Structure 1
């Protein structure tokens, strides 16, 4: 896959997307969001890709925010459309992929960058990472899901403070808040993340996809997460992966999952 603003590869079952705008601290513009959608869509459709890792190019930033120059003069209607299109095209899209997505946060993750990391299924940070939603300092609010996902991850009070102060937190604070799962050195970040990806790849891709649906259901208005779990639990019984997993367990051997 060839893109202008990102690099997308897949090797040994692990897809890797690198946001490649280091001169702009990997800021998100419309074109980059569209390219990210295409890359995620292609990797999710590739049966050989079991896990996707997203990171930023360089040592300074994962994504340092949105490209403000693109929307500084927008009207009310244009602003609402910007948020709606971005959420549908990228942030909600990533959250609901059947393929697990891990954010390897390698520096600043601010504004849209933190929102992108939060849309991933979980996050690992380098020890130099800084995270925050500074939108209120620009006279606007987070528009790519930040006001919804941040409270889900760190609690309402902490999210209120972080958004209202437009402040930043370091990687260890983010870990203590539950915003990231692990903190490692920048030199170790990608290999550590690949190590977790390898553990995920031992398990049933089909079951993982259904687990993502069930977990996400708990955070959707009007959806009963328990009912979603029951329905997807039942569906597992009709799959090749269930037959292989249970047979391998009873035969005391390692399962070989097909993802079907």
Structure 2
């Protein structure tokens, strides 16, 4: 049984809740259980989308600073590597991942949110990378995923300053994709996920792979990957169903089965 994570499956939607009061500090226990929960979603035949949340009051603080006080180089490498691997696994899930952010997402908590495909935050949410004010930098993907999302200069401004920003500024920057009232954040995330539960799972997987892998390589290699994935989908039942449904009834009427 997990002590720090609540993972639920309901009709194709998996919901992963960080549950370590009071602030979901990402100590080694929570990070280990996060990695285990992500693996469960990856291995599930049921999950078509995942919502990651920290509950109604806070998404996640960063690492446990008290725990970090005694760290040396090797411990820092091992610990940042563990959280980084959990974030990489979350980002690498073949299903769409949506982060639902209430309260605040700081440091490692924001790195977890950045590993999602989309982010919804509350109107009163606060986000930031305060590591520089502790004499360090983000160590589990923040310096790499943030500039790819909002651009290098905007990412540097946030990382260099350590300042926090609110929901509207996060939306302006493209750090989050939707803003909702605090009591509607999880509902909004689930509503965003709902079309993916009925959509063509193999095409969604291919689309995610094309975008994510394409960003990691040259344009030429990305275009070749796109062509390969596009052509491969012509061997799927969903492609045949989708195109036949379009010809017969128009766009958006197909019932897909993930085959």
Q: Do the structures match in fold with TM over 0.5?
A: yes
Gapped regions of structure 1 (runs ≥ 5): none
From 54, 57, 62, give the equivalent of 2:55.
Answer: 57
1:189 maps to 2:188: no
Gapped regions of structure 2 (runs ≥ 5): none
Equivalent position of 1:203 in the other structure: 199
User: What displacement does 1:107 show?
Assistant: 1.2
User: What displacement does 1:87 show?
Assistant: 1.6
1:83 maps to 2:80: yes
Distance 1:141 1:221 in 2: 25
Aligned residues: 256
Equivalent position of 2:233 in the other structure: 236
Counterparts in 2 of 1:233 and 1:198: CA distance versus 1, 3 Å: same
Q: Which has the higher helix share?
A: 2
Displacement over 3 Å in runs of 4+: none
RMSD (Å), alpha carbons: 1.6
Distance 1:36 1:8 in 2: 10
Instruction: Please list the CA deviations of residues 154-193 of structure 1 after superposition, one character each: whole Å capped at 9, or x if unmatched.
Output: 1111111111110000011000000111101011111111
Instruction: Please list the CA deviations of residues 41-90 of structure 1 after superposition, one character each: whole Å capped at 9, or x if unmatched.
Output: 2123222221110111242x1001112233322222322232233222x1
1:255 maps to 2:254: yes
User: What displacement does 1:221 show?
Assistant: 4.7
Equivalent position of 2:140 in the other structure: 144
Equivalent position of 2:9 in the other structure: 10
Equivalent position of 2:30 in the other structure: 32
User: What displacement does 1:222 show?
Assistant: 6.2
Equivalent position of 2:46 in the other structure: 48
Distance 2:19 2:12 in 1: 22
Distance 2:185 2:66 in 1: 31
TM-score normalised by the chain length of structure 1: 0.93
